[in-house]
Amino acid sequence: MHRGTLRRHRGTQRDEIFLTIMYQHNSNQLTINYISGIMKSKIQILTFFACLIAVSGYTQKIWNLQNCIDTALKKNISVNQGQLNSNINNTNLKRAKAQLFPNLNIDDAYSLNSGKTLDPYLNQYTHHITSINDIALNSSVTLYNGSLLLNTIRQSNLNYKVGILDVEKLRNDIMINVLAAYMQVLMDYEAVSVAQAQIDATEKQVNQTNKFVEFGKVPEINLIQIQSQLASDQLTKINTENQLQLDKLTLLQLMEIPVRSDFDIQKQDISDLFPAIPMSSEEIMKISVGFLPQIKSAQLRTDASVYSLKMAESGYFPKLIMGASVKSGFTSLNNGPFSTQLNNNFNQTIGLSLSIPIFNNFLVKSNTEIAKINFLNAQLNQQQIKNDVRKSIEIAYTNQVSAGKKLVATRKQMELEKRTYDDLEKKFLVGALDATTFLIEKNNYEKVSMALLQAKYDYVLKVKIVDFYMNKPLTFN
């Protein structure tokens, strides 16, 4: 927080203004508290508040591409949900590993019996009301179940890695969407500048034509035509500014930020472009296979389906479980003390339980057949993802080459069009050319100007997309 006070003294007459200025970094707010005083010099007031405005403008955040990407990734609901699902997968992995260890439980059973009852500790029948309390410490561990536990652990580990890769794929999609939106806003800014330049040129032409009309050098219809063109240029700028606000809104929504009037992005200098032919799409594909998360994820899903098949086949194998227990208890028929009964009735048990499957209504066979089909589907899905990536790379490669050719052709067209426009403008400004002919050329020049602007930003975006598939960072540096 920063504070400041402004005082002014002049001669014997004293005028004071006390202003407390508080700027809070966290809230990005500038607060001005006017306490008291009379100011006679308006110039000093204006100067002082101009300084405050400058300070406020200086503290406004200018968003660069990385800021926008980081914010979008941080606030995106799907990304956060994917991370939570990844945490669930990690918990499932820990749970699968824990199944290898023995369990341990304490059981305490109390019963109240009437009628003819066999006392388990005295081994005699009674017709009296009796109470029996059994206490046991039990433990068991699976020694063998056809490697079901081990394959479950391996599959859970793969599922955990798949979840992480799926989140990374989602993050990549968001990054590209933010890049495209950011580039659109950049182009809109330059389009507004181009529109303003056209207005400035037309205003100059209106002023010159107005002089010619006053001196009777050209008819008044020329002035009306140029004024109409000025109105058209002003409308073009308004439309361009409206489009800028809409594209800012798109970018803000991708960042999950409510619309705000002070949002602005960092301008980028991308004037010097020399289209180059990238490496072949086959070479780009070789690079992409090594790092794209969707390709790795598809491979891991295929591997996980192999373990699903092994888990289903484990139903054909015997299951061997070792169990142990420590038990004791007491009965109301025995008049001995509680501690004595627990000591006398104390016993230990250890044993093995073997279960051999013989017939289970073809359940294991059905599960195995389904697992085999899922494995084949996983293989097809893996190949489909590779095909989709290859097609995306081929499209991106072709788009970059085409955009580069278009940029070169449009740039050459612009050079020729500018020479024509400059020549006709000189003639028009000296009254040697009628307004109709000049306005036709002016409109052609403006169309080519916008076409060049679009071609430039379209090419930059196509280059960035190819860079992504080549594992290059999405930056302007």
> Are 332 and 278 within one domain?
no
Q: What amino acid is encoded at 4 in this protein?
A: G
pLDDT-derived band at 312, boundaries 50, 70, 90: very high
> Are 111 and 186 within one domain?
no
pLDDT over 70 (residue 30): no
Which residue, among 245, 212, 208, 97, has the nearest Cα to 157 in the 3D structure? Answer: 97
Q: Is residue 81 part of a domain?
A: yes
**Each residue of 325-367: pLDDT tens digit?**
999 998 887 877 888 888 888 899 999 999 999 998 899 999 9
State how far the Cα of 375 lies from the Cα of 308, in Å rounded to an integer: 8
pLDDT-derived band at 431, boundaries 50, 70, 90: confident
The beta-strand segments (E) located in 398-455 are: none
Which residue, among 467, 462, 474, 477, has the nearest Cα to 406 in the 3D structure? Answer: 462
Q: Domain of 76: which CATH number?
A: 1.20.1600.10
Residue 193: count other Cβ atoms within 10 Å of its Cβ: 13
**Each residue of 391-413: pLDDT tens digit?**
999 999 999 999 999 999 999 99
> Are 435 and 385 within one domain?
yes
CA 231 to chain centre: 42
Q: Is residue 298 part of a domain?
A: yes
| H or E element that contains 8 | strand 8-10
Q: Is residue 1 part of a domain?
A: no
Domain of 251 in residue numbering reads as 71-100+148-317+362-469
**Which range is least confidently modeled, 46-50, 97-101, 182-186, 389-393?**
46-50
> Total structural domains in the chain?
3
> Are 125 and 159 within one domain?
no
**CA separation, residue 301 to residues 31, 48, 144, 353, 377 (Å):** 57, 66, 26, 35, 10
Contact 256, 76 (CB under 8 A): yes
State how far the Cα of 300 lies from the Cα of 166, in Å rounded to an integer: 11
Q: Report pLDDT for 272.
A: 61
Contact 265, 185 (CB under 8 A): yes
> Are 388 and 460 within one domain?
yes
pTM across the whole model: 0.78
pLDDT over 70 (residue 193): yes
Q: Domain of 350: which CATH number?
A: 2.20.200
Give rounded-to-5 percent helix, strand, coil for the chain: 60, 15, 20
The beta-strand segments (E) located in 176-331 are: 319-331
pLDDT over 50 (residue 450): yes
Taken as a whole, the chain contains a residue count of: 477
